[in-house]
Structure 1
Amino acid sequence: MRWKRAAGAALLVCLLLLAGHASAGLRAGGEPGAADGRGPLTLVTGGDLTGYLRGVLDGWNKRHPREKVTLVELPDAADEVRAQLVTELRSGSDRFDVLNIDVAWTSEFAAAGWIAPVDGRRFPLDRLLPPVVDTATFKGRLYAVPYVTNAGLLYYRKDVLDREGERPPQTWAELERLAKTVAPRYGLDGYAGQFLPYEGLTANVVEAVQSAGGTMLGDEGARVTVDSPAAREGLGFLLDGVREGWIPRRALTFKEEESRRAFQNGELLFLRNWPYAYPMANADSSAVAGKFGAVPLPGPDGPGSSVLGGSNLAVNAHSRHQRSATELMAYLTSEQVQRQVLTKGSLPPVWADLYNDRHLMRTFPYLPTLKRSLLTAKPRPKSARYDQVSLATQAVVHQALIGRQGPREAVARLTRELQAVVRRG
């Protein structure tokens, strides 16, 4: 009897151990097989304004019934998206597996250890536009994969310039002259970008500085480089526009949509905005449909340089299903899906060859112009504290735009603010 009791006790222990392992497996991965890095996924993104992404994911889900993707859409505003993601990632949560993040956040998320390094051999990096790949790296390592790109364009009223016998401006001086002289004759404001203190203002400022040949930070955020004649020239272009009136003061309240609507309603001669505005301004309901064009942004002596917008795909470092997550990213960056990014989502793809596709150019005539802008565009300043860099830039420049400081004083103050950010980092 003693040996039977011992055998029973041993069996009970084995069963308890097996149960413990099984429950641990379920806790770790949520279902059997999670230990191999595979399983259902959650993709988190900012608001999908065109609704195309669910259709793209349906294609994956039909072929991967055991690795289905659930889409989580956060608010449209980039600042709110970042705040919610940071809260989740900082806590070590594995709620999200794949993150669709603004290209400017890649360095910050990588430095914090929130996203896992990526094996570039799994992706067609050599088929992508070279500048966009740079947005996915930090300190020489690949931490994400480019998914959607973007570059600012200068929209202009072609009907008005044609009537005046003028060509689209290639320099700041040409833009200023036309905004001052031609726009008032047609009851138009001269020029607008996105000048409310938010991420869009940072993009406009960085574009002005780098178009003049300057930079904000160097050595991936370790050194402040904004104190330069180029930065003062770039800020001077924007500040002079507001002071002289060819940038209307109401533009200081503009984000992307407010500025797009102003142009689309026939109120502006020139607008800096992203490519998404092109098909919307050409819609039947638009006051400027068929009356406008788009060219690369101007600079001091010729075409300027846009910042790179768009988003990268990254894997949550705490995801239990990193193999499935990597394969989903490969699917989303395939040529087939990249075509849908453009045709269904009206977003610029990262595949270089698509910009030379004649069929696509018939529907999206701005593609050659956009490609030229993308090839000369640059990432926003890389920094492990990018959020603080952007907030400092917004605060300082907005104060200057409302007339509190001139270009020299603004650059000096911005230098001090960015140096404080770098020291804290």
Structure 2
Amino acid sequence: MRWMRALRRGVLVAAVLLAGCSDVARSPGEPPAGGRGPLTFATAGDLTHYLAPLVDDWNRGHREEPVTLVELPDSADETRAQMLSELRSGSSRFDVLNLDVAWTSEFAAAGLITPLDRDRFALDAFLSPVVDTATFDGRLYAVPYVTNAGLLYYRADVLEAAGEKPPATWAELARQARTLAPRYGLAGYAGQLLPYEGLTVNITEAIQSAGGTVLRDDGTRVAVDSDAARAGLAFLADGLREGWIPTEALGFKEEESRAAFEEGRLLFLRNWPYVYAEAGGPGSKVAGRFGAVPLPGLDGPGTSVLGGSNLAVSARSKHPATAADFIAYLTSEPVQRQVLTRGALPPVRASLYDDPSLVASHPYLPILRQSVLAAVPRPKSARYDQVSLVVQAVGQDVLALRDTPEEGVRRLARELSAVSNGS
């Protein structure tokens, strides 16, 4: 996913501001001790080629504790697979891991990453929901680095011309998508509905935005058999059946849906914050003509899935003390500021969302803060990969109108119970 690739590309921006903070407890040339020494940082491929110079900056200030960047495939699925393969083999090659927030529970349950000392990190300064993505079974297994929440992008010029406000409920969104969009030659609404992780996010958000949930208790109890889950699936299925969600959206990931909005083909788009800068840039047909609001829900504001990236220490790392220091640097306030300004990535530090200079250059920050604070992590489970595949498969059949929302909920309950029971 585009925002996930951006998260991984930006994760080392931190080091540039803190290059001078070397370990003063050892004399030059003294061998590392007590869990200190060189690190290997595993992340997805750096498509913008600006990570290596930042690693060099870190290394100049930490000559006995240099960081080696290991770039894994750009695909999130391939990155996860390679990390798991390396760690399960017992290798100590990776020290610090850049994990999608949805992987933290899986890696923790498998004993592949080590619990961390909460007091070592400034967790009280973070937006409160992001810390939950880094915990499993009541313990901290990672530190949030970048967060994310879905937003509803809308054509401000169209709504203004029609004397309408952005929708705050599904009913308002459906009405505007069904009536206003055709009047202006637009399709109504799109999200990311291709069967991949993006569909899991969209389905989960729909269920949450109706007041429901998929799993409870760190993934051990299936809770999807509810009126809220039926309402969430019905919202999306009705849009496709009634035509205000175009059938081409069934093939959309982040980038395809972003392109459709920027090309002026959609009235509404659910996507991540990175779209704000993209849609306002050169070449966009909607630059200066769109806005963003929190996702709508069944009866009021909706509930986004909480996205982002967490930093974890491999259970096999030989230098966990240095790894913890490196993570603390990456999540410090000045570094988080650079992550936003240089990487256009949502920071985890709460104070940055109220900074006047940052809000002036990133006007979506107050809306994003509101969305993050209301967001909920994806279902926590030691078998999250299987959970996601079930949600995708069932969601695909419901959106293709092969299953009704009622049938879809029954399937979700049955198949997720099988996953939770290990069968």
Query: 1:253 matched to which residue of 2?
Result: 251
Q: Matches of residues 236-247 of structure 1 in structure 2 within 5 Å? A: 236-247=234-245
Q: Matches of residues 25-36 of structure 1 in structure 2 within 5 Å? A: 33=31, 36=34
In 2, Cα distance between equivalents of 1:367 and 1:51:
26
Letter in structure 1 aligned against 2:209: S
Query: 1:144 matched to which residue of 2?
Result: 142
Q: Matches of residues 19-418 of structure 1 in structure 2 within 5 Å? A: 33=31, 36-418=34-416
Matched residue SS, 1:36: coil
CA contact (8 A) 1:50 1:345 kept: no
Structure 1 stretches of 5 or more lacking a match?
1-30
In 2, Cα distance between equivalents of 1:302 and 1:334:
35
Letter in structure 2 aligned against 1:410: G
Letter in structure 2 aligned against 1:371: R
CA contact (8 A) 1:34 1:320 kept: no
In 1, Cα distance between equivalents of 2:140 and 2:259:
38
Letter in structure 2 aligned against 1:368: P
**What's the CA shift string for 1:321-375, capped at 9, x where partnerless?**
1111111000000111101110111100000000001101111000000000000
Deviation at 1:34, TM superposition (A): 5.4
Identity percentage of aligned residues: 68
Deviation at 1:193, TM superposition (A): 0.4
**What's the CA shift string for 1:232-288, capped at 9, x where partnerless?**
000100111111111111111111111111111111110000001110111021111
More deviation, 61-70/220-229 = 61-70
Deviation at 1:55, TM superposition (A): 4.8
CA contact (8 A) 1:53 1:345 kept: no
In 1, Cα distance between equivalents of 2:101 and 2:48:
20
Deviation at 1:86, TM superposition (A): 1.0
Structure 2 stretches of 5 or more lacking a match?
1-28
Deviation at 1:94, TM superposition (A): 1.3
Letter in structure 1 aligned against 2:91: S
Deviation at 1:170, TM superposition (A): 0.5
Letter in structure 2 aligned against 1:413: R
Letter in structure 2 aligned against 1:264: E
Query: 1:421 matched to which residue of 2?
Result: 419
In 2, Cα distance between equivalents of 1:239 and 1:377:
23
Matched residue SS, 2:173: helix
In 2, Cα distance between equivalents of 1:264 and 1:216:
33
Deviation at 1:50, TM superposition (A): 4.6
- TM-score when scaled to structure 2? 0.91
CA contact (8 A) 2:32 2:64 kept: no
Matched residue SS, 1:57: helix
- TM-score when scaled to structure 1? 0.91
Deviation at 1:56, TM superposition (A): 4.2
In 2, Cα distance between equivalents of 1:45 and 1:386:
20
CA spacing shift, 1:52–1:121, aligned 2, 3 Å: farther
Query: 1:18 matched to which residue of 2?
Result: none
Deviation at 1:54, TM superposition (A): 3.9
Query: 1:20 matched to which residue of 2?
Result: none
In 1, Cα distance between equivalents of 2:273 and 2:266:
17
